[in-house]
Amino acid sequence: MKVHIETDRFIIRELEEYDAERIFELDSDPEVHEFLGKKPIKTIDEAYKVIDFIRKQYVSNGIGRWAIIDKKTEDFIGWTGLKYEKGLRKEFNYYDLGYRLRKKYWGKGIATETAIESLKYGFQILGLKEIGAAADVNHLVSNKILKKIGLKFIETFDYEGVTHNWYKISKTEWTELERTANTM
């Protein structure tokens, strides 16, 4: 198990096969998939395939989504992090910020906290110049989080017949936000 980030509340580590039951709980929930194409998984085998797909990204792209584990309870909360996205925007590839939480953890600031840590990792450890993110225009919470953590709305685009908002943040913009936050 490779831990990438540790905060006061969370361990953020690579997804492992033993996470399959919790991935199944996460990705089989229709409410979790409301703004993700409404295609929840239906079997535990699909959960293993999700993990395998993400683990292959670790090898081929050097990055992929990571498990969020509660330090106190050791419970699997969901996933967060960056991935190298090659299909969402047909006109370009980019490093994508994302998060997905089990419903019982919604509204607790976890997506915001882990997304900030993921940006920090991307800019400070990976040396990325820019990070992007997309959210269904109707997913108000996700859009709010992306703006709150400093990503700038750029445009809307269509993905599989659904309008999405496109956001991005450069390393320079993020560094200025961090500097400003640390001086207050």
**Which ranges of the chain does DSSP label H, i.e. alpha helix?**
20-27, 44-61, 110-120, 140-148, 171-183
To the nearest 5 percent, what fractions of the chain are helix, strand and coil? 40, 30, 30
Q: Look-up: residue for tokens 């047909």?
A: 90
Q: Which of 95, 64, 91 is nearest to 168 (CA)?
A: 95
In the chain, domain spans: 3-183
Q: Please give the angle made by the CA atoms of 25, 10 and 31, to the nearest 5 degrees.
A: 30
Question: Which class in CATH covers the domain with range 3-183?
Answer: alpha beta
Q: Indicate the pTM of the whole model.
A: 0.93
pLDDT in tens, the chain (184 residues): 688 899 999 999 999 999 999 999 999 988 887 777 778 899 999 999 999 999 999 999 999 999 999 999 999 999 999 999 998 888 889 999 999 999 999 999 999 999 999 999 999 999 999 999 999 999 999 999 999 999 999 999 998 889 999 999 999 999 998 888 776 5
